[in-house]
């Protein structure tokens, strides 16, 4: 089982590299990432499992499990929405974050086929959160600086000992 990297690890703030080839190794990684988050979360990105590659997976209720390779967010809505987020790399911390309500994303799946998803609701939210991981951005980085400091203080409190 893949280990999940937590806050403080340098890889979480690094920009991930494009996947060069969608081969058996990448397929295996996608599968293992879905396994690693089963029962714990609804999205996981490469850097969170120590793979600095542009890949993330989602498994949102009402949607099939998905693997996004070299994703691009090609459109976001003007409408913003405030939704509570968590992150397997910042366990126990849940905070409201404002982001666009809808996104259109293009990516390749684990079979090497291109696909487009137009998403709203929770799927749109997860896609944006996971895409940020590929850019080295965590959900706390989307907060205003005062709120971010508070969030980090409560994270340290929550995970102490």
Within 10 angstroms of residue 151's Cβ, the number of other Cβ atoms is: 19
Greatest distance between any 2 Cα atoms in the chain: 45
Q: State the nearest-atom distance from the C-beta of 50 to Ni ion, in Å.
A: 14
Q: State the nearest-atom distance from the C-beta of 88 to Ni ion, in Å.
A: 6
The answer to whether 4 contacts Ni ion (rule: CB under 5 A) is no
Q: Which is nearer to Ni ion, 49 or 87 (CB)?
A: 87
- C-alpha to C-alpha distance for 40 and 35, rounded to whole angstroms: 10
Q: Which is nearer to Ni ion, 21 or 61 (CB)?
A: 61
Helix (H, G, I), strand (E, B) or coil at 133: helix
Which member of 51, 85, 110, 130 is catalytic?
A: 130
130 is catalytic: yes
The answer to whether 87 contacts Ni ion (rule: CB under 5 A) is yes
- Segment interacting with Ni ion, rule: CB under 5 A, options 32-40, 53-61, 62-70, 80-88: 80-88
- Segment interacting with Ni ion, rule: CB under 5 A, options 19-27, 63-71, 73-81, 85-93: 85-93
Residues 6+ apart with CB under 8 A from 84: 94, 95, 96, 97
Residues 6+ apart with CB under 8 A from 119: 102, 103, 104, 105, 127
What the block records as the tokens of 114 is 């291109």
Q: State the nearest-atom distance from the C-beta of 87 to Ni ion, in Å.
A: 3
Number of residues that bind Ni ion (CB under 5 A): 1
- C-alpha to C-alpha distance for 127 and 96, rounded to whole angstroms: 16
Q: State the nearest-atom distance from the C-beta of 111 to Ni ion, in Å.
A: 25
The answer to whether 127 contacts Ni ion (rule: CB under 5 A) is no
Report the catalytic residues.
Answer: 130
Contacting positions for Ni ion (CB under 5 A): 87
């Amino acid at each position: 089982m893949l280990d999940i990297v937590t806050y403080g690890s340098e890889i979480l703030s690094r920009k991930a590299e494009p996947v060069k080839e969608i081969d058996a190794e990448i397929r295996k990684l996608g599968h293992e990432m879905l396994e690693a988050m089963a029962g714990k979360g609804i999205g996981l990105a490469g850097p969170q499992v120590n793979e600095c590659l542009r890949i993330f997976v989602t498994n949102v209720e009402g949607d099939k499990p998905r693997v996004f390779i070299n994703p691009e967010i090609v459109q976001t809505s003007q409408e913003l929405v405030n939704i509570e987020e968590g992150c397997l790399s910042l366990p126990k911390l849940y905070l409201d974050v404002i982001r666009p309500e809808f996104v259109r994303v293009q990516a390749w799946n684990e079979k090497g086929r291109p696909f487009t998803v137009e998403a709203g609701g929770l799927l749109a939210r997860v896609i944006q959160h996971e895409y940020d991981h590929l850019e080295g951005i965590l959900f706390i980085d989307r907060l205003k600086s005062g709120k971010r400091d508070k969030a980090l203080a409560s994270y340290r409190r929550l995970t102490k000992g």
